[in-house]
């Protein structure tokens, strides 16, 4: 099947949205936790997290155009922080339900049975049931002229995950964490590693890497978190 721009533009809006949302392939499934200046919580599933760099550690969110009805956007702009929480298989139903358009005074945590978790000095809620939790401080906000979409850049200032999921080189084994992937707007997939490849070099052939977590204790420098 070959579609040109005229055919795509003529498609019914919901059918077009379903198609275009699936064309980018597998995406991350995350719950974005926020709170307003009064501490009232909000939770929304998003699949738009984009890695921008590791030093500083930056992640961007793409938020659809909108005003008052975009509770997450308003909270992030007001407080300057948000959380990203990986969706795992036990959380799929509750996570998906956060996409419903609840009134502002209704917290999706309460509506879906998920539990807000808090860290001292951080004013956005984490999802207590999530295995991977990230706390981010807003560093940049751009409203894209092409379609009014919001591009939010956050810096990771807190990260929590199972130590047993760390691999030898410091990467996180997401399958070990139970993290699922998302296609389109509604289809969730288990993450099963097929192959992990070594850093590509022009003078070496492709080489496989081990995908198993590192032997315990993990290789993390504990002085970074203990202050020792």
Give residue-wise pLDDT tens across range 74-88.
999 999 999 999 999
Residue-level pLDDT at 82: 97
pLDDT by residue (tens digit) across 181-203?
A: 999 888 999 988 877 777 788 88
Domain ranges of the chain: 26-226
pLDDT by residue (tens digit) across 113-126?
A: 999 999 999 999 99
Q: Give the architecture (CATH level 2) of 26-226.
A: Roll (2.30)
> Which pLDDT band holds residue 50 (cuts at 50, 70, 90)?
very high
pLDDT by residue (tens digit) across 130-147?
A: 999 999 999 999 999 998
Q: What is the pTM of this model?
A: 0.86
Provide DSSP, 84-138. EEE-BGGGHHHHHHTTS---TTS-HHHHHT--EEEETTEEEEEETT-SSEEEEEE
User: How many angstroms separate the CA atoms of 184 and 169, rounded?
Assistant: 32
Q: Could you tell me which of 72, 84, 74 has the C-alpha nearest to residue 155? A: 84
Supply the mean pLDDT for the chain: 88
Residue-level pLDDT at 226: 37
């Amino acid at each position: 099947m070959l579609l040109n721009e005229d055919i795509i533009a003529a498609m019914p809006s919901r059918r077009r949205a379903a198609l275009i949302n699936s064309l980018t392939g597998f995406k991350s499934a995350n719950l974005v936790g926020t709170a307003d200046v009064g501490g009232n919580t909000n939770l929304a599933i998003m699949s738009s997290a984009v890695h921008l760099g590791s030093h500083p550690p930056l992640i961007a969110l793409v938020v659809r155009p909108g005003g008052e009805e975009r509770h997450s956007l308003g909270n992030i702009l007001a407080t300057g922080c948000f959380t990203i929480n990986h969706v795992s298989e036990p959380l799929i139903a509750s996570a998906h339900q956060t996409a419903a358009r609840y009134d502002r005074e209704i917290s999706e945590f309460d509506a879906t049975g998920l539990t807000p978790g808090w860290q001292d000095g951080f004013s956005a809620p984490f999802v207590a049931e999530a295995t991977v939790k990230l706390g981010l401080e807003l560093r940049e906000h751009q409203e894209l002229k092409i379609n009014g979409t919001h591009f939010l850049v956050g810096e990771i200032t807190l990260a929590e995950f199972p130590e047993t999921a760390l691999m030898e080189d410091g990467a996180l084994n997401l399958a070990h964490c139970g993290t699922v992937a998302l296609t389109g707007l509604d289809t969730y997939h288990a993450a099963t590693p097929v192959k992990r490849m070594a850093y590509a070099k022009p003078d070496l052939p492709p080489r496989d890497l081990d995908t198993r977590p590192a032997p315990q204790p993990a290789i993390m420098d504990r002085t970074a978190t203990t202050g020792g």
